[in-house]
Every structure is written in structure tokens, then in C-alpha cells.
Amino acid sequence: MATDKIQGFNLNRRGLTDLFRQTERADDAHQNRVRSPVGESVTKTPVPTDKAEISATAHQLMALRRDVIAGREALAQEPEVRAELVQEVRKRLRQGYYRSVSVENHVADRLDRLIRNLEDL
């Protein structure tokens, strides 16, 4: 029977041998650590890192969301009704300004650009 010569414990008891093995493992783990210049311990084994990838579609949606937010903010700063523009449009309607070919072409060009921009999204 093995005994601890200093304290006289029976070393064959199951709990003491398990405790000894745990202490051995802890010592081994401690020896595998390296001290950094600051003094904190760092393990030698590489630490797994998480990685996330964002798709091109998600990037486009984020850009679109930023544009929508910017548009809403700009719109919020505009007055709800601009009376001087309403009067100008009414005047032009009475004069038949919007029935001219040049205005129709201008509106068609702007609509074409708008549709192309929507298709690019």
C-alpha cells in the first residue's frame, strides 16, 4: 500500500488518484501556455474563429436601404405643399403648356431614365 510519507494519506484511495490525475492535466495545460510581454497567458493552440460572408444581393439591398433612408430624410425636410409651384402648374395647365410636343418628349425621356434605373436594381 502506497502512502504519502509527509501527511500519511493512503494514496490508493480512488478520489486521491483522480485528484492527482486532474492536477497533472492542469499542470500540462499550464505548461502549454506562453507568457505575453504584458504578462497575460496565451494558449499555443489556435483558437477557431467564426466567419460570415455577405452575398452580393445583400450588399445591394443594404445600399438600397441606405438610399431609401436618405430619400426619406430629404423628403422630410421639404415642405408638404409648395404653394408657388402649385400656382405655376395651374397657370401652365390653363395656357396648354403641358400639351406641347417638347414637354411630352421631356416627360418621356425622364420616365425612360427612371425605368432604366429601376431595371438596374
Q: Give tens-digit pLDDT for 65-113.
A: 999 999 999 888 887 888 888 999 999 999 988 888 998 999 999 999 9
Torsion 11-12-15-17 (CA) sign: positive
Residues 6+ apart with CB under 8 A from 16: 9, 10
- Report percent pLDDT > 70 for the chain: 63
Every domain of the chain and the residues it spans = 1-33, 82-121
Residues in the chain: 121
Q: Answer for the pair 26, 33: CB distance below 8 angstroms, yes or no.
A: no
What is the pLDDT, as a whole number, of residue 11? Answer: 53
Q: Say how far apart CA 59 and CA 65 lie, in whole Å.
A: 10
Place of cell 403641358: 98
Q: Answer for the pair 32, 41: CB distance below 8 angstroms, yes or no.
A: no
Q: Give tens-digit pLDDT for 4-25.
A: 555 555 555 556 566 667 777 7
Q: Answer for the pair 11, 2: CB distance below 8 angstroms, yes or no.
A: yes
Place of cell 438596374: 120
